[in-house]
Amino acid sequence: MAAPKLSANQAQRIEELQGYVRTIDHVKKLVAELESNRAANPKILKGISENIARDLSHMRQRALTANLGSLPDTAGTLSIIAARQGTGINLKIRALLDGVNSMAIQLDQALKMAHEAKPAKEKEEEKKKS
């Protein structure tokens, strides 16, 4: 059985969501790098944390315009956690891992909904029938 054809809007939405998934994968790698360098020089930890904060902040800005529910809020909160210097590294790593996993779940759900969404033409036809 062939995959159903996607409308232009669906294809655009799926491509946009896949961009967010790539960002999440990159942030996961950075968090893993941060975790593996727990005992490293504070300058190295600060650099990795700043990269995480920057990526999440950019993702938040893009996601605000994409109507993704609470994903932008989560990304913004994680950005603040990553940039904060006063917290312990263990707390930071745990919070970032949990938050990134939460965002990945939200994106998976959004991708699933984008694939299953009916094209606008079908919605209009259903409205006419009822």
Q: Which backbone phi and psi does 38 adopt, to 5 degrees?
A: -55, -40
CB 54 within 8 A of CB 83: no
At which residue do the structure tokens 């959004």 appear? 110
- CATH class as words, domain 19-121: mainly alpha
pLDDT in tens, 25-55: 999 999 999 999 888 888 999 999 999 999 9
pLDDT in tens, 47-86: 999 999 999 999 999 999 888 888 999 999 999 999 988 7
pLDDT at 23 over 90: yes
Amino acid at 50: E
pLDDT at 24 over 70: yes
What does pLDDT average to over the chain?
86
Instruction: Name the band, by pLDDT with cuts 50, 70 and 90, for residue 1.
Output: very low
Q: In Å, what is the CA distance from 69 to each residue of 9, 57, 66? A: 18, 16, 9
